[in-house]
């Protein structure tokens, strides 16, 4: 990332303030300049986004400084051996006799990387508590900002990689005065000083929002305030960020909560600390009734005076990692209501706080330790619809031209089924080129990087997905396939002599299952269905798709 200057809040003569954001010089030109219509609401919303960025609620162990001292002594004793091995390796390189890396060496390399990132995470936590100035200089997560025709939105990812935040501001009503804009996506320089400056925003002082276009034309060699940051992200950080976009486009159940209900929820969590499990929020949904929330393990009901839930009644849906919701506390005085989008028990959920001209979306993985990078396994839930490379490229070109498109229009223009369209947009989301707007129900063109992510950044497919694909070729026998009482199908059968049963909804997503393999025994479908359930679902979905497209007499 390359920046000309630092982002800052400038005070001009007459009391006007300009929120001057320095964009990334390595990206395409992005420009935006307009007055904030509601500085107070923006201040509270962007401060909440800041809380999401610094969130790290993973379990931290007790102080082990004594053990660390002992390990340092051990390391000193081994220093001579390491030096000797290093010199031997250098001599091997000089002579040109460098052997290829073995599988064991590659495994050792991955293990060393894991230890490095674990140590870096511990240092990050310590610096954040003891020296915030130094911590900010080392914190690599500058936010992503996108200027669209109708909105401007900021995106961020939490330190523990389990929470996603997106602040969206409507351009028509969220800003006033003349607007100068160049559409696109860029990173903006962010610092603790800028965060503290946010706190000084007031309604009696005009505040102008400015993404500085001069950063794209300046001769950087002549600018003393030019600085460049080389950022080494953790392995899989981008992949986790992209997994989130795939999760946002999944079929979900929407419920609306009143501010009083959210306040009661957060107040109870703030005042009480659970000593035993389960530590979940239980959503009880019945058609025509207001959603009912129950806090476990106390079984405390949260009354909700919001609109009635409309949709098919379901079994209770549980979500974990609820203390991450405390980041929303600052928004309650300025919010009208909160829309919650639920994908299922133990699966990602999205909380959209409605604030008039602004909206903040908080995306949560199934639980805090189940981060987007490794645990959510969204891809295993999706139906096995193939996305051809030609249609993916056509969708990318069309979306880049229109900037926004509805799922229905996309299916019509590509002459694709809804399942195929979902697979196409899933690929664009995984490659960092698209984002789904839950509030508007639209796909938006948004490039996280100047280029599409390749398979190298995305990493290999999940082992359970690869195994399910192999099993689907001649290894699946379906015994029964009957309609489910609440829609979808209940399928039973054998996959390579493993008896299993799966419930899939009308969109082809796995909702429940039964299997005796170790993967399913450990976590059910919360970390994604096992290879046997996926293979059984894939075969059943093919039958359903064939029946829908066959001629009827």
Query: CA–CA separation, 54 vs 132, rounded Å?
Result: 11
How many angstroms from the chain centroid is the CA of residue 130? 28
pLDDT of 496: 87
State the CB neighbour count (10 A cutoff) for residue 299.
Answer: 8
More confident residue, 166 or 8: 166
For residue 8, pLDDT beyond 80: no
**In the chain, what percentage of residues exceed pLDDT 90?**
22
pLDDT of 136: 53
pLDDT of 78: 86
Q: What is the mean pLDDT of residues 372-397?
A: 74
pLDDT of 218: 35
pLDDT classification of 494: cutoffs 50, 70, 90: very high
Query: CA–CA separation, 486 vs 497, rounded Å?
Result: 29
Query: CA–CA separation, 128 vs 376, rounded Å?
Result: 27
pLDDT classification of 22: cutoffs 50, 70, 90: confident
> Among the listed ranges 6-15, 62-71, 180-189, 214-223, which one has the minimum average pLDDT value?
214-223
Domains of the chain with bracketed CATH? 1-63+99-140+170-233 (no CATH), 238-371 (3.10.150.10), 389-458 (1.10.10.10), 463-549 (no CATH)
For 281-294, give one letter per residue: b (16+ CB within 10 A) or e.
bbbbbeeeebbbbb
Q: What is the mean pLDDT of residues 11-39?
A: 78
pLDDT classification of 151: cutoffs 50, 70, 90: very high
In sequence order, which residues have a C-beta less than 8 Å from that of residue 79 and are 6 or more positions away? none
Closest among 149, 154, 178 to 47, alpha carbons compared = 154
Where helices occur in 333-489 by DSSP H, the ranges are 389-402, 407-414, 418-430, 455-458, 463-471
pLDDT classification of 551: cutoffs 50, 70, 90: very low
Q: Cα-flanking dihedrals φ and ψ of residue 150, to 5°? A: -115, -20
Structure tokens belonging to residue 306? 């919001």
Give the mean pLDDT of the chain.
81
The DSSP element (H or E) to which 242 belongs, if any, is: helix 237-248
Edge-to-edge order in the sheet of strand 175-182: 8-11, 17-21, 207-211, 31-36, 175-182
More confident residue, 227 or 431: 431
Query: CA–CA separation, 199 vs 19, rounded Å?
Result: 12
pLDDT of 140: 47
**Which residues share a beta bridge with 157?**
164
pLDDT classification of 223: cutoffs 50, 70, 90: very low
Query: CA–CA separation, 240 vs 245, rounded Å?
Result: 9
Read off the pLDDT of residues 306-353 as tens digits, 9 standing for 90 and up: 888 988 777 889 998 899 999 999 999 999 999 999 988 888 899 999
With beta carbons less than 8 A apart as the criterion, state whether 9 and 18 touch.
yes
Q: What is the mean pLDDT of residues 529-535?
A: 91
DSSP class per residue in 63-92: P-HHHHHHHHHHHHHTHHHHHHHHHHHHHH
pLDDT of 229: 56
Query: CA–CA separation, 247 vs 363, rounded Å?
Result: 9
State the CB neighbour count (10 A cutoff) for residue 349.
Answer: 25
State the CB neighbour count (10 A cutoff) for residue 58.
Answer: 15
pLDDT of 134: 65
pLDDT classification of 221: cutoffs 50, 70, 90: very low
pLDDT of 265: 95
**Which residues share a beta bridge with 523?**
none
In sequence order, which residues have a C-beta less than 8 Å from that of residue 265 and are 6 or more positions away? 281, 293, 295, 302, 325
For residue 219, pLDDT beyond 50: no
Q: Cα torsion at 273, 353, 144, 347 (round to 10°)?
A: 60
> Among the listed ranges 142-151, 219-228, 287-296, 380-389, which one has the minimum average pLDDT value?
219-228
More confident residue, 314 or 279: 279
pLDDT of 178: 64
For residue 217, pLDDT beyond 70: no
For residue 448, pLDDT beyond 90: no
Structure tokens belonging to residue 96? 């040109």
Reduced to 3 states (helix: H, G, I; strand: E, B; else coil), residue 362 is: strand
| Burial class of residue 8, CB neighbours in 10 A (0-12, 13-18, 19+) | middle
Furthest CA-CA distance within the chain: 83
Closest among 541, 521, 538, 520 to 530, alpha carbons compared = 520
The verdict on pTM exceeding 0.85 is: no
More confident residue, 236 or 502: 502
> Among the listed ranges 279-283, 325-329, 376-380, which one has the minimum average pLDDT value?
376-380
The DSSP element (H or E) to which 351 belongs, if any, is: strand 349-355
Query: CA–CA separation, 60 vs 434, rounded Å?
Result: 35
Reduced to 3 states (helix: H, G, I; strand: E, B; else coil), residue 497 is: coil
Closest among 349, 46, 27, 52 to 169, alpha carbons compared = 46
* Distances from the Cα of 152 to the Cα of 8, 149, 352, 363, 425, angstroms: 19, 8, 16, 18, 21
**Which residues share a beta bridge with 260?**
none
pLDDT of 516: 92
Q: What is the mean pLDDT of residues 105-124?
A: 81
For 66-89, give one letter per residue: b (16+ CB within 10 A) or e.
eeeeeeeeeeeeeeeeeeeeeeee
**Bond before 297 cis per omega within 30 degrees:** yes
Q: Tokens 């995470």 map to which residue?
A: 121
């Amino acid at each position: 990332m390359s920046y000309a200057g630092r982002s800052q809040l400038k005070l001009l003569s007459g009391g006007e303030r300009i929120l001057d954001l320095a964009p990334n010089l390595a990206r395409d030109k992005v420009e935006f300049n307009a007055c904030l219509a509601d500085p107070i609401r923006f201040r509270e919303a962007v401060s909440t986004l800041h809380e999401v960025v610094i969130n790290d609620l993973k379990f931290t162990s007790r102080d082990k400084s004594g053990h660390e001292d002992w390990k340092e002594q051990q390391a000193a004793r081994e220093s001579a051996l390491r030096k000797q091995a290093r010199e031997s390796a250098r001599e091997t390189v000089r002579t040109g006799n460098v052997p290829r890396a073995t599988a064991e060496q590659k495994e050792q390399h991955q293990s060393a990387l894991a230890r490095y990132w674990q140590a870096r995470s511990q240092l990050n936590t310590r610096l954040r508590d003891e020296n915030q100035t130094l911590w900010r200089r080392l914190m690599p997560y500058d936010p992503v900002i996108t200027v669209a025709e109708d909105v401007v939105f900021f995106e961020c990812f939490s330190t523990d990689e389990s929470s996603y935040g997106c602040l969206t501001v409507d351009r028509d009503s969220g800003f006033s005065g003349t607007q100068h804009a160049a559409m696109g996506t860029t990173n903006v320089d962010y610092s603790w000083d800028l965060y503290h400056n946010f706190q000084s925003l007031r309604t009696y002082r005009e505040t102008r929002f400015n993404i500085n276009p001069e950063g794209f034309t300046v001769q950087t060699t002549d600018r003393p305030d030019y600085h460049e940051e080389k950022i080494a992200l953790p392995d899989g950080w981008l992949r986790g960020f992209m997994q989130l976009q795939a999760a946002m486009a999944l079929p979900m159940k929407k419920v609306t909560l009143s501010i009083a209900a959210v306040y009661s929820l957060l107040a109870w969590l703030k005042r009480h600390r659970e000593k035993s499990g389960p530590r979940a929020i239980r959503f009880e949904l019945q058609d025509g009734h207001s959603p009912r929330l129950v806090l476990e393990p106390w079984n405390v009901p949260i009354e909700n005076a919001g609109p009635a839930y409309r949709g098919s009644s379901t079994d209770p849906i549980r979500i974990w990692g609820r203390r991450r919701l405390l980041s929303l506390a600052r928004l309650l005085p300025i919010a009208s209501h909160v829309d919650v989008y639920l994908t299922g028990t133990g699966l990602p959920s999205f909380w959209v706080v409605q604030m008039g001209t602004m909206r903040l979306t908080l995306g949560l993985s199934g639980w805090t330790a189940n981060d987007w990078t490794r645990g959510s396994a969204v891809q295993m839930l999706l139906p096995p619809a193939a996305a051809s490379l030609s249609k993916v490229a056509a969708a990318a070109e069309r979306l880049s031209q229109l900037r926004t498109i509805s799922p229905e229009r996309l299916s019509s223009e590509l002459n694709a089924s809804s399942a195929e369209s979902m697979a196409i947009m899933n690929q664009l989301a995984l490659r960092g080129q698209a984002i789904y707007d839950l509030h508007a129900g639209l796909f938006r063109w948004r490039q996280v990087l100047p280029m599409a992510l390749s398979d190298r950044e995305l990493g290999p497919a999940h082992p359970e997905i690869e195994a399910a694909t192999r099993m689907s070729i001649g290894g699946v026998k379906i015994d029964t396939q009957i309609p489910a009482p609440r829609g979808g199908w209940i399928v039973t059968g054998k996959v390579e002599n493993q008896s299993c049963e799966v419930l899939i909804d009308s969109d082809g997503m796995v909702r429940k299952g039964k299997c005796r393999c170790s993967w399913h025994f450990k976590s059910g479908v919360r970390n994604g269905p096992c290879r046997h359930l996926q293979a059984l679902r894939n075969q059943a979905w093919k039958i359903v798709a064939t029946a829908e497209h066959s001629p009827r007499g």
